[in-house]
Amino acid sequence: MTIAHGDGTYSKLLRQLAKVDLLILDDWGLEPLNQTQRNDLLEIMDDRHNQSSTIVTSQLPVSKWHDSIGDATLADAILDRLIHNAHRLELKGKSMRKKSG
C-alpha cells in the first residue's frame, strides 16, 4: 500500500483488492497501525464489506484489536466492517511448529 501511494497506483490497487474473492490478513496486530495504514484498511474493508470474504489470522486476542488499531473512531469503523457477519474460530493448544517427540 505504501508503494502504491508513492507510485500513483493506489486507486488501481484498491479496485483489485475489492475484487479478490478471498483476502487473507495474516499475523494481524503484530505492530500498531499508523494513520495511513488505518485509513487504507478502512477503505479496503469498506470496499469489501458484504461483497467478498476476508480471513484474519492473529496471535492477538480479538479483545485487543481495537487498541491495536490505535484510533478509536477508525477502529470502530474498521472492526464493524470486519467483524459484522464474521465467523470466529479460536484455536487452543500447543504450537504446531514445535517438534513433537
Contact 39, 4 (CB under 8 A): no
**pLDDT at residue 79 is higher than 90:** yes
**pLDDT at residue 99 is higher than 70:** no
Q: What is the pLDDT of residue 90?
A: 84
Nearest to 28 by CA among 58, 68, 55: 58
pLDDT in tens, 2-18: 999 999 999 999 999 99
More confident residue, 90 or 101: 90
pLDDT in tens, 37-71: 999 999 999 999 989 999 999 988 888 999 999 99
Say what the pTM is.
0.83
C-alpha grid cell, residue 72: 478509536
Q: What is the pLDDT of residue 81?
A: 92
